[in-house]
Structure 1
Amino acid sequence: MYDATVKIIWALLAATLMLTQTHAQSVSENECAMGVHAIIARGQGGGDDLNVLSTLSDLILKQIPGSTTIGLPYDHKNVLNDTAKLHTVQDGAVLMQQYVQEYVKSCPQTMIMGAVLMMDSLCGTSEIGFFFVAPLAQFYNSIIITAIAYGDITYVPGMPWNVGNCTLGIGRVDQLLPRMNSALCRPFASSMHSYCDYGDAQCCSLYPEDGNAAHHGYVLKYNQDVVNFIKQGLARIER
C-alpha cells in the first residue's frame, strides 16, 4: 500500500514538553519505516513515555501498515518549578528537532513526512519569557505531512491550522503563553492541525469548572481524525 518512502510523524502533543538530557534517533537501514514513523511526545506527569498517547500509537500501527512509533524520552516528570519548565520546553523542542534530523540521516533514501508535534519544535519559540529555540529549517516543509498538537498553550485563535470549537484563547493566566510570531509556522501550515476545545484551560477557557475535562478528552475525540489526516498526507505524496 505504501512504498519504501519513510514518512516521519512527529507527535508532540500537549502543551509544554520538557527534557533535561539529550538523545538522538539513529536507526539501521533495515529499521526504516515503510509506512510512517511517529515520534510521539506526551504531556507532563508520571508514567511512561507514551502514557495515554499509547492509544494514538496503537491506531497508527493498526491502520497504516509498515509504520513504527516511539515515545519521545523527554523528562515529562520534571515540573517542580517554573524555571525547570522553561528549560525543559527549550530542551524538548531541540530534542524533537534532533530526532527528526537523525532519522533523516539514518534513512537517506526516504522522504520524512509528517508529525503530531509540539509547536515550539516546528515554529521555534516566540512566547514571552521562553528560552530561544530557532524554527525547524524550512527544508523540512516538503517532508513533513502531518503536524499535530493537542491543547497547546501557545494556541492563537484564528490560525488556519486550528481545529476544535475554541474561539477565545484566554485560558489560565499562569499557563497560557500565546505564540507572538505565528508567521514562523506558515511554511508548515498545510501539514498542521492544532486541536483546542472550549473548556480546555491550557489553550481556551477556564470554564466550565469540570476538572479540565476538555484537555483530557482529545485522545478519545480526535485520535481517529489525526490518523485520517496522516492518511490524507500520504495520499497526496503517493499520487
Structure 2
Amino acid sequence: MRSSVLLILTLSTHAWGVPTLHPPRQALNATSTACATGVHMIVARASTEMPGQGIIGAVATQVQEMVPGSDSEAVDYPATLTDYLKSEASGVSAMTKLIQDYAVRCPESKMALMGYSQMGDPTHVPGQPQDVGNSTRAGIFPRMNTAACAGMAPITKSFCNDDDRFCDSGTSIPVHLAYVQGFGTQARDFVVARVTGNVAAKGNVTKRGW
C-alpha cells in the first residue's frame, strides 16, 4: 500500500517567464492533511520565478480540471541563478521531503511531479526514451549515468528543443521559455492518461522535460 509516483515532467533547464495558460489553482498547500482522490501534483517553478508554482502550474491546473479530486502544491526553494548549485540542491531536498511526507500521509493517493528549468532536467542528454522535442545536444550539466534513469522512462517525459540555451547548450532563451505553450496540452494528456489508466489511448503521447 504505497503512493505511486506516476510521472516526472521536466521542462528544459533554467530561467522562465512564459505566460501561463490559466492561472495556477493551488488547491492544496503543503500543510493540508487532505488526500487527493485523483492525483496529487508536486510542482517546482523555474529559476527566478516568484514563489508558487510558476508557469508550469498551468499544466497542473489543466490536470485538475480533467481529473476530479486532484490537487497540487508548490516546492518552496530559492530558485536563484546566483549560487545555482545550492539553490538546486535545496529544491531537490524540499521536493524529496514533500514526496516522502505525502506518501506517509496518503499512502493510497497517486502523485505526479512537475518541474521547469532548474527543477526540470538540466542534465538532459539527447536520445533517451523519456525525451520529447527536437534537441540533438546535451545540456549544460549532461547526465553521465543515463542507465540510472532507465527504470523511470515509462513514467517520465523530458521536453527539450533545439537551441535551448540550457538543456540543448544552445543560444536561445525564447526557446527555453516556450515549453508550456508548445507542450502543455501534451503534458497534461500524459498525466491524465496514466492517472485514469487510459494509457492505451494516450500512452504514446510524449511528455516530460521542461
* TM-score using structure 1 length: 0.67
In the alignment, structure 1 residue 47 sits paired with structure 2 residue 45: no
Q: Secondary structure at the match of 1:52?
A: coil
- Aligned mates of 2:182, 2:161 — CA distance in 1: 11
- The aligned counterpart of 1:185 is 149
- The aligned counterpart of 1:92 is 91
- Aligned mates of 2:49, 2:117 — CA distance in 1: 22
**Would you say how many aligned residue pairs link Structure 1 and Structure 2?**
185
Contact (CA 8 Å) 2:64, 2:70: kept in 1 or not?
A: yes
Q: Which has the higher contact order (CA 8 A, sep 6+)?
A: 2
Displacement of 1:10: 5.7
Unaligned runs of 5+ residues in structure 2 are 16-28, 201-210
- Which digits, 9 at most, give the CA deviation of each residue in 1:43-100, with x for residues without a partner? 1114232222232232122122111011111111x332xxx21122222112211111
- Aligned mates of 1:186, 1:229 — CA distance in 2: 18
The structure 2 residue matched to 1:112, chosen from 110, 113, 124, is: 110
- The aligned counterpart of 1:140 is none
- The aligned counterpart of 2:178 is 217
Distance 1:177 1:87, change over 3 A: same
- Which digits, 9 at most, give the CA deviation of each residue in 1:127-149, with x for residues without a partner? xxxxxxxxxxxxxxxxxxxxxx4
- The aligned counterpart of 1:35 is 38
In the alignment, structure 1 residue 229 sits paired with structure 2 residue 195: no
Contact (CA 8 Å) 2:55, 2:180: kept in 1 or not?
A: yes
Amino acid at match of 1:229: F
- Aligned mates of 1:185, 1:71 — CA distance in 2: 24
RMSD of equivalent CA atoms: 3.1
- Aligned mates of 2:166, 2:68 — CA distance in 1: 34
- Aligned mates of 1:113, 1:217 — CA distance in 2: 25
Contact (CA 8 Å) 2:53, 2:74: kept in 1 or not?
A: yes
Distance 1:101 1:226, change over 3 A: same
Amino acid at match of 2:60: S
- Which digits, 9 at most, give the CA deviation of each residue in 1:199-238, with x for residues without a partner? 211111424xxx5211110011111111110122123389
Q: Secondary structure at the match of 1:65?
A: coil
Distance 1:104 1:71, change over 3 A: same
- Aligned mates of 1:166, 1:12 — CA distance in 2: 14
Distance 1:11 1:204, change over 3 A: closer
- The aligned counterpart of 2:131 is 162
- Aligned mates of 2:101, 2:164 — CA distance in 1: 34
Distance 1:106 1:120, change over 3 A: farther
Unaligned runs of 5+ residues in structure 1 are 18-23, 122-148
Q: Secondary structure at the match of 1:100?
A: helix
In the alignment, structure 1 residue 69 sits paired with structure 2 residue 72: yes
* TM-score using structure 2 length: 0.75
